Structure formats: structure tokens, C-alpha cells
Structure 1
Amino acid sequence: MRRLKHFSLIIVLATAMVFLTSTAYSQENEPVSPNASPEAKALLKLLYDISGKYTLTGQHNFPNIKGRNTQFAAKYIGKTPVVYSIDMGFARDGDTDSYLARPQIVKEVIEQHRLGSIITICWHAVPPTADEPVTFRPQGKAAPESLASIQGKLLDKQFEEILTPGTDLNRRWQAQVDSVAFYLKKLQQAGVPILWRPYHEMNGGWFWWGGRTGKYSTKALYRQLFDRYVHHHKLNNLIWVWNVDRPNNPDMHFSKYYPGNEYLDVLSLDVYNRDFNQSYYDSLMVLSKGKPFLLGEVGNPPMPEILDKQPNWTLYSTWAGMVRYTSKKDYKILMNDPGILSLEDSAYWQVSAEYRKVSGIDPLPDAFQTTGKIDFTGEWIFDEEESILDNFGPGFAPYKLQIKQSETGLNIQSIYLIEYAENRIEEQNLKFDGSEFESKWRDAPMITTAAWSENNDTLFINSRIVFNRGKGASEMILKDKWTLDKQGEILLIKQYSKSFWGKRNTTLAYRKW
């Protein structure tokens, strides 16, 4: 299971107390919205619980296509993203970003929530200088005083007017945000908690709301929306997600746009072109003061080597239309990593059990409720296509595993294909209490121990084999992580070994027979 591994000395010293509490959930960590709904509290607690341990997969969907992006991702990748992301729309009828799709968005979001997805919503908000629908980019020679697009810049006096109660643009702004609040209330009535990510990428200057500092600033606009939704509309199902883009110049420094801890539950960053710079992560870590954070939008998911150094990304959401920007080879690596969870993964069902119970959706499957531990019992056949192998190929892997699991341990029969003789069968009887089991591997003495992870979703099996090589003994160290995938149909064994052959990292996949 992933743990915090890599931070610069400066960051460690500056935020030592943050690290001590970064994954802890307490009364102080409840949503910033007063009287937050039980579902919202449970969702935020889930993020605290998985921070530093797991990363949830996600997919953004265009508003007007009824979840087609998620459906494509599931088919292309082979697993369904946990996070269902969508925008509230801004464009004309018939456009993929149509604002007229909002009634259908509500229905689809309720259904996705019922299926166990985590919901995140953003909104390419319409500038108060125009009425819906608008375009994404300015069209032709648009007059600056009448901006009618998401991208573009308002006049300074216009932005000031939006933030000044009683003015025409402030009233227009209220009417626009109220129209979206109407649909968020429907989700509140349905008991659906939302990771709400308004005015995203606010440190950039490409959207009309972004890139402003000083008295009449972007963060002031964010606070104004917070006040409108929380205190005027009494929306209590929103987890407030503050979002920025990568700071490619000093004016985009995160701290200049931070509205204050009392206005947000989660911090988030958008990353494209695989630009997972460690300094971005470290800067958010300092700002977060123990709050969880996530990747609001990505062009490519973070690979395991990134997550090893940046373990507190609780989730990511691939932007709509960008699934194929990542190779199937990389997806295979991602989907085989036990720390990266999709909707079918048993570990997700386990870590989300409390959230699902509070939300009134399907509880943990019976197979995981009986003992609290996943059950590896069965006959498993090696699946080379699903495995991740090195230059040695599958020669060292047993082609079949016959496993019997009890409350206290495992009986494992490993059957190896031998080209020149009868197949070799090796048997182990492992206890979950960590006691040593002595056996042989290719006539060399082997000592093995087994123990469950803290959440009982991963079994750690460690072995030490001693070889007598004439002039002296040498040893092989094996460290296995066993998990179940695809609702218990796939056994994944992520294996690290160190010996005179060198260091090896492989993932062996076995399909239930």
C-alpha cells in the first residue's frame, strides 16, 4: 500500500505537523458548510481515509452525452472509473456542452451515485455580461464591454461591479448562479453529495473569472459564490473543492488565490501533458494544513512512480475525449496497481463501505462482510496477457494456484509447468499471524510469513530463500502483495524480488477457474 515517501527537507520541516494529521479525520475535519448532510460528511471522510493510501480513477463527461465518456473509458481501459465528473453546461442546444442538458444531468448523476460512483461537478460559468447560451471562445471582434464567452477578460470595472451588491452585474450574476443552484438542490433532495469545483483553474487568466488579485479578486468571487450557496440557498450537500492550474509564472502562485480554509474542504490541481511537477504537490501540501487534495482534471493519469512520490492525490479525473491520450500499456500498469482503485475493485467496495451505507446505496458485497477479509479460496490459472513481466518472462511463475483459506491462514499449492519432466507442485501452509513457515523452493530452504494490511484488503507474503552456491550462500528476498480485482475474478500478485539475478518488479495475474 502506498505511503508517503518523498518530500524535500524544507517541506518536511515546514509541515511536519501537517503530515502527522494529513490522513486523520476528526470533528474538526467536517465539511465547511454548516449543517452538512450526512452524505457529504461521509464523502469527505472517505477522502481523508484514502489519502496517502489509494487513488480513485475518474472520468469527465461532456454535459449533453449522458455519460458516454465514462462508458467509453470503461470499455477501452477494462475497468469503470470510480469518479463521475461532469459540467453544468453553457452552450447552445445540440452542443456537447449545452446548458439545456441540466435536467438530464441530474437524472444521470443520481443514477451514477446509485451505482456507487463519486460525483464531481464543475461549471464553465457564463459571464454576467451575457445570457445563456454562450460560446467557449470569443467570436469575431467581440466588444470587451459585452463579453459573451467563457474565455476572455472582463473590464476591471465590470469585475468590480459583479462583486458589489446592488449593481446590475451583481444581480445578473446572482440570477445565473441561482439557476444552477436549482439543480444542485435537486441533487441535495436526492441525497447525492457533490465534490463541487467552481471557478476552476482560477489562477489562470484564460477564463473570465480567473487571474485576478487585489481587492476585487478571483478568490473574492469564489467567496461570494460560497456565501450565496451556503447561506442563501442552504445547500448542504456540497464538498467545496478549490482548484488551480500549474503556476507557470509568479502571478499564478497558489497562495495568491487561496480563499482561506473556512471556504474549502479539498484542494485540487489540473495537470496536462504529464506535468506532475513535485513542487506543485509540495506547495499544495503546505497550503492544505491537513485537508485532502485531488487532481481535478488530467490529460493523462498519474503513473505509479508519480504516486509513490505524491501519494496524497485522492483521485484524478481524465478530461473528456482524452482517454486515448494514454496507451493501453500504461493503463494496464495503472489497473494492476493495488493502490489505484476502479469501480469493480474489491478494495474500493471495502474502503467506501461506510460512505455507501450512509448514502443508502448498495453495501459491501456479502463475500467481504463475513470475515472482514477478502477470500482467495479457489483454483486460479495464470493469465499472461494480464500480467506485467520482465525479461525472464513467465518461466518463474506457477501456471496454477490452488488455494484454501480459513480464518487463520492459507493453504497454497503452486503448480509449475516443467518442459522436461512432470509438473512440480509446491505446498505452503501460511498463518496470518506472521509466524514463519519453512518449506523449499527448488530444493533451497525458504522461510515465508503472511500478514494482512490494516484494512484487510491486501495480503503481504514475504519469503527468504537461501541458496548454497559453492563458495558461500546467497539469498533471494521475495515481497508479494496479493489483492483481488474485477469483483474477485482476478488475483493480482505484485511481486518484488532481490537476488543474484538482480532486482525484479512484476505483477502476476491469475484468473479464477
Structure 2
Amino acid sequence: MKRTSICSIVLISALLLSTLAPGVSQEPVTPNASPEAKALLEFVYSISGKYTLTGQHNYPATKDRNSQFAAEYSGQTPAIWSTDMGFAEDGDTDSYLARPDIVKEAIRQHKKGAIITICWHAVPPTADEPVTFQPRGPFPPDSLASVQGQLLDEQFKEVLTPGTRLYKRWEAQVDSVAFYLKQLQEAKVPILWRPYHEMNGDWFWWGGRVGEYSTADLYRQIYDRFANHHKLDNLVWVWNVDRPSTPIRKFSNFYPGNEYLDILSLDVYGSDFNQDYYDSLKNLSQGKPLLLGEVGNPPFPEILDTQPDWTSWVIWAGMARNVSKKQYQELYGDPRILTQDDPAFWEATASYREACKLPALPLKNNYPADFSGNWLFSEEKSELGNSGTGMVPYRMKANQDGEILFAKKYNLVEWGDDRVSHEEINLEGEEMLSQFFRSPRVSISSWDETTGSLLINSTVTFTRGGNTTEMLSSEEWSLKEDGRILSIRQQSTGFRGEKIDVTLIYEKQ
């Protein structure tokens, strides 16, 4: 963690008071933008040229699993939580059915300190959700059913023509996403919204089109639908392009106009931080902020020396290890680069969080106990009665993050690889759903204020041969010996109705 000095405090004060060049407005392009959206955009302006936020993308169906891994691997928590509205089938990490959970997770991340950014691999209007990422042929040329691929010219024209069949299908699809963004609006969560990303490329169905019926027209169309029809006032509009690898992909060919965007952004993979890309985007911006929408590798300090106005980057899901731990330490040692764990980030976001009616960072842990850690089961110290250890996790990794306790459990399988399961417990008593041996489990927690123990009551519903059976269980989690021992007392009813009462002992590693 970087040290805070008198100089850094002066820098932060200057940062918060900084203003734009005359004639450039910091007001969002969204009509009647919410106070939270205004504060978010003001925050981005305030750090431009001074700080760069770290970020991590998360697949839609994984909540913040990628961010958790990035935090553990790199040593600090990314400042930005990123996700996608999804497009794929149930069970896929990109599932569109994850949208209700995306809303909940975005609210949680916002409260705990992250800046929220969302994109959408939009479904082509020629198909219904779910679709695949790449085309799976053969398919008729007029029936694209994947995010990648191209519509026919007449189809793209139809998408942009109100009243037509494909326009109505497009309308219904974007309305389905607006439904969830509206929930975030009601929760007063401002979003860096990045639609139709990499629009100067031709690999996505929406991209690469110039002329009378263009990709820029499509961007303006979704802006109008969200801002003017749905009155979504919590969106900060982020226009996004990829590197201009061919003349037709020149940024200006796809620019929708200053009145349709708040921030300009670029996606960079392969560490291709060409100075010309930065300069071209900077010249196009007319004073508006810049950010890196997606990267495979973050820009290192020597890049930021000549490209200082990148306000943030987001490493794409599954790419956190493109950078070594040693390189992360180098990045985090630079005072310009901010994570959620950095005091400079806490200071810089103070006004923003105040506008959002959220407490200043860092948040305090108000719970009686913190069960975070790597825990190893001790059969010798446990009280098992007549029970064996066949269903007992021999290892557990717990991470208490805000009001959620994440538990990753490892069960020994005698004939194969370990079985790994994930469980989430809401420490505020909200009902949580999970799986127990492929059967649904509902869990609710509460605290024993006297002992500081966490009480978890669960119901597992088993269905066998058309018959349904419920198994009730309770757990009491307690820390002992100055937090070195985790005791879990389990009381339940077995499959045959027998009473089970055991105490499992885990030792902190």
C-alpha cells in the first residue's frame, strides 16, 4: 500500500477542485441526469490526467468471482467492477439469465466502494435469447444467431427503420436490458454504460458500418431509447472503439457526436498502446475524459508517462494472470494507479460517495467475527459421534466481503478429483440460494450477539423418484483461540430421519 504524504493530500485537494478547460461541460449527456450520475462523471473528470483506476471484468454468471481472484492474485482489490448483461444459455458464464443477480451484485459492489461499469454483447435482432458468441453453422444468411457475425445490409437498414419487423425486435431486446438498468436506477446506482463496444470493428453484428445506415446511427438509436423513452437517468455514456487497424476503422468514422457520449474509450489487447491511438482519441474528445474499456494487459507506468489521461482500465475476465505478481507490485507502487485499498482512492471518491449518500471509505467491519482465511479440517480435534467424514469438506477457503461470506469447499473424492462447491451466506439475514449435492438449498443467517457466533439455518429439498423430501440443518460458526480455530457445530436430520449433531474443527493455515 502506498504511503500518504502531505504532498499527496495537496494533490488530492487540487484534484477535487480541478476544472475543465473553458467551454467544456461536465454535465452528463443524459437529460436530467441523477445526482449520482452527475457525481460519477465529475469524479472521472477530477482524476483525468492525475490518477488511473484499476478494474476487473466479471463474466455475467460469476458475480464477482473474477474480481475476487484478481484481488487475491495481485494483492489489492480493483477499483472498478465490470460485467456484461449476457447473451448465452443457462449454465454458460455469459448467461443472460444472470441479470437479476447482476443487479444485486452491482448494488453490493457500489455500496462497498467499487465503480460500476457494464457492457452488453447484444443479441442480433434476427434471433431470440439465448444465442452463441460465434456463429455455429451452417445457418441461413438471413438468420444470424450469434453475437459475432454480420447482418445483411437490408437487415441492418431494417433495424434502423422504425416500424419494421427487425426494428421492433431490436426494441424488445433493448427494452429487456433497460428493465434491469431501471432497477439499478431505482437503487440509485450510477453506471458507466458501454454499449455496442468495439464498434469500429466488423466482428460483432453491430460493428464496422459507415455511410447512410451506420453503427453510429445504431448507437444514437439506443441512446434515444434509453435516455428519452425509458428516462434512464443513472447512465454515464461510454463510447467505445477498438484499435484502428485499417483505414475504415478510423475513430472519427464512428463518432456519434459529443451530445451522445460522456467518455471516450478504447479496447487494447496485446499491450498495443500505440501513441497514435491515444493522440487520435484525445483530439476527438474535445476535453471529455478517456478510459480503457478492456485490456489484456494494463498500461505500465512508462505508457502512462506519455498517455496520462487514461482514467481507468479494465482487465478482461480470465486475464488477471497475464501480468505477474511482481509486475502488479510495480504497478501498485506508482502513485498514479489506484485500487480500492489505496487511501488516495478513498480521498478521491469522498465527494462522489457523499453524493450517493454512502459512507466514506474505508468501510468498517461491523460484524462480530470475520471468518476469512484458509481452513484445514482436523478430524482428531472434531467431535463426530458415530458419523464419518465422507461429506465433510477437508479444506475450506472463506472470504468475508462486506455483507457476504463466500465459502469455497473442497470434498475428497476417493475415486477421482476433489469436488469443489461454492456457498454464499448473506450476513444481514437475506435468504440465499445454493446447491447441495445437486439439490437446491436455501440458507438464512443470524448473529448471536452474546457469543459472536454466526447461526445458519438451511433447508435442502431432495427429489427422488417423484417424491420430495426436505432436510433441515443448522450450523453455528465460532472463532476460538484468537481466530486460529474455526468451530462449526452442525445439527441436522439425515436421509433416514436420524439426528446428527457434530462439531467440525478447522485450523487456520
What is the aligned residue count?
A: 349
1:71-470 aligned at under 5 Å gives the runs: 71-364=68-361
Q: Provide the TM-score with structure 2 as the length reference.
A: 0.67
**Partner in structure 2 of residue 41 of structure 1:** 38
Q: RMSD in angstroms over aligned alpha carbons?
A: 1.7
Counterpart of 1:196 in structure 2: which amino acid? W
DSSP-derived class of the 2:271 partner: coil
**Partner in structure 2 of residue 406 of structure 1:** none
Identity of aligned residues (%): 68
Contact 1:300/1:318 (8 A) holds in 2: yes
Separation in structure 1 between the aligned mates of residue 82 and residue 97 of structure 2, nearest angstrom:
18
Q: Deviations over 1:164-185 (max 9, x none)?
A: 0000000000000000000000
Gaps of 5+ in 1: 3-20, 368-513
DSSP-derived class of the 2:25 partner: helix
Separation in structure 2 between the aligned mates of residue 365 and residue 227 of structure 1, nearest angstrom:
38
- State the Cα distance separating 1:25 from its structure 2 match: 9.2
Separation in structure 1 between the aligned mates of residue 283 and residue 324 of structure 2, nearest angstrom:
33
Separation in structure 2 between the aligned mates of residue 366 and residue 119 of structure 1, nearest angstrom:
17
Separation in structure 2 between the aligned mates of residue 100 and residue 364 of structure 1, nearest angstrom:
32
- State the Cα distance separating 1:329 from its structure 2 match: 1.7
Contact 1:335/1:341 (8 A) holds in 2: yes
- State the Cα distance separating 1:297 from its structure 2 match: 0.1
- State the Cα distance separating 1:327 from its structure 2 match: 1.4
**Partner in structure 1 of residue 63 of structure 2:** 66
Counterpart of 1:145 in structure 2: which amino acid? D
- State the Cα distance separating 1:143 from its structure 2 match: 1.6
Q: Provide the TM-score with structure 1 as the length reference.
A: 0.67
Separation in structure 2 between the aligned mates of residue 205 and residue 144 of structure 1, nearest angstrom:
16
Q: Deviations over 1:345-400 (max 9, x none)?
A: 00000011000101122215699xxxxxxxxxxxxxxxxxxxxxxxxxxxxxxxxx
- State the Cα distance separating 1:28 from its structure 2 match: 2.2
Q: 1:147 and 1:221, CA in 2 relative to 1: closer, same or farther beyond 3 A?
A: same
Counterpart of 1:51 in structure 2: which amino acid? S
Contact 1:56/1:82 (8 A) holds in 2: yes
**Partner in structure 2 of residue 481 of structure 1:** none
- State the Cα distance separating 1:144 from its structure 2 match: 1.5
Contact 2:113/2:361 (8 A) holds in 1: no
Separation in structure 2 between the aligned mates of residue 145 and residue 358 of structure 1, nearest angstrom:
48
DSSP-derived class of the 2:93 partner: coil
Q: 1:79 and 1:25, CA in 2 relative to 1: closer, same or farther beyond 3 A?
A: farther
- State the Cα distance separating 1:330 from its structure 2 match: 1.1
DSSP-derived class of the 1:315 partner: strand
Separation in structure 2 between the aligned mates of residue 264 and residue 159 of structure 1, nearest angstrom:
22
Runs of 4+ in 1 over 3 A off after TM superposition: 21-27, 364-367
Contact 1:203/1:244 (8 A) holds in 2: yes
Separation in structure 2 between the aligned mates of residue 42 and residue 294 of structure 1, nearest angstrom:
17
Contact 2:24/2:287 (8 A) holds in 1: no
Separation in structure 2 between the aligned mates of residue 109 and residue 198 of structure 1, nearest angstrom:
17
Q: Deviations over 1:104-161 (max 9, x none)?
A: 0000000000001000000000000000000000002122100000000000000000
DSSP-derived class of the 1:136 partner: coil
DSSP-derived class of the 2:62 partner: coil
Separation in structure 2 between the aligned mates of residue 190 and residue 366 of structure 1, nearest angstrom:
19
DSSP-derived class of the 1:146 partner: coil
- State the Cα distance separating 1:299 from its structure 2 match: 0.1
Contact 2:19/2:46 (8 A) holds in 1: no
Q: Deviations over 1:461-510 (max 9, x none)?
A: xxxxxxxxxxxxxxxxxxxxxxxxxxxxxxxxxxxxxxxxxxxxxxxxxx
1:468-487 aligned at under 5 Å gives the runs: none
Separation in structure 2 between the aligned mates of residue 361 and residue 56 of structure 1, nearest angstrom:
20
Q: Deviations over 1:277-317 (max 9, x none)?
A: 00000001100000001000000010001001100000000
Separation in structure 2 between the aligned mates of residue 142 and residue 332 of structure 1, nearest angstrom:
49
- State the Cα distance separating 1:22 from its structure 2 match: 8.0
Separation in structure 1 between the aligned mates of residue 326 and residue 21 of structure 2, nearest angstrom:
35
